[in-house]
């Protein structure tokens, strides 16, 4: 069966379709496709994924990215997603955990960074002019509640779980322990984003860090 698009196996990238992106006509089918909604591919072995990349590098400069997707648009009023992962649970009960997307960073025994390491980086560069409407956020969390939906006692917008044999270290006292979040780059003062004015009372607090200083988000035991 002939390939639907020209393929060049001698390209320096190893595998390339040089004419894709230069055609004036609209694509009528996916460039890469595995299965269809009517005839999906059945996974029969838990250790064999449909698509897998195993890579390594000895480079010590610049940024290494084994998988990259860039979506560029110049259209007005369009709805754009650069990527989409969907876990479609068709009226069955899953196991103890399930995710539409999971990311992991392993530091193993002596792994470390000189600056910052994170599992997910959500970064937005705001426009420098001409923004007059809209809502902008680095992270959007949606809980869709359809008609007659059922809530369990464990339903929440987000969940934080500290695990491991040494999790008591994270729960240590003051600066020796971990934080709910770490905010940097903003000034502290009366009526500012981090408002230090007033003398509130509370039943307790949740530890966070602001510009390197330990602070506590106050909470009350009841709504009164």
Cβ-count burial 171-205 (b if 16+ within 10 Å, e if not): eeeeeeeeeeeeeeeeeeeeeeeeeeeeeeeeeee
pLDDT tens for the chain, 224 residues long, are: 445 555 544 445 455 555 555 454 566 777 778 888 888 888 888 888 888 889 898 888 888 888 888 988 888 888 998 999 999 999 999 999 999 999 999 999 999 999 999 999 999 999 888 777 888 999 999 999 999 998 888 889 988 899 999 999 998 876 678 999 898 888 888 888 888 877 778 999 888 888 888 888 888 888 77
Q: What's the predicted TM-score (pTM) here?
A: 0.78
Q: By CB neighbour count within 10 A (0-12 exposed, 13-18 middle, 19+ buried), where does 33 fall?
A: exposed
């Amino acid at each position: 069966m002939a390939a639907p698009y020209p393929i060049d196996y001698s390209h320096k990238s190893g595998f390339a379709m040089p004419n894709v992106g230069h055609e004036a006509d609209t694509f009528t089918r996916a460039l890469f496709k595995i299965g269809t909604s009517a005839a999906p591919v059945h996974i029969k072995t838990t250790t064999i994924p449909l698509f897998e990349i195993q890579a390594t590098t000895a480079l010590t400069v610049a940024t290494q990215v084994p998988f990259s997707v860039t979506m560029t648009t110049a259209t007005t009023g369009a709805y754009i997603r650069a990527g989409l992962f969907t876990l479609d649970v068709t009226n069955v009960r899953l196991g103890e955990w399930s995710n539409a997307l999971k990311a992991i960073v392993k530091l193993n025994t002596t792994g470390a960074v000189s600056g910052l390491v994170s599992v997910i980086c959500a970064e937005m560069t705001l426009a420098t002019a001409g923004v007059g409407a809209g809502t902008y956020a680095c992270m959007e969390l949606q809980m869709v509640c359809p008609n007659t939906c059922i809530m369990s006692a464990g339903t929440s917008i987000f969940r934080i779980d500290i695990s491991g044999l040494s999790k008591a270290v994270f729960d240590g006292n003051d600066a020796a322990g971990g934080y709910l979040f770490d905010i940097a780059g903003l000034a502290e003062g009366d009526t500012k984003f981090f408002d230090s004015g007033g003398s509130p009372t509370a039943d307790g607090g949740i530890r966070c860090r602001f510009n390197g200083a330990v602070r506590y988000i106050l909470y009350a035991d009841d709504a009164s």
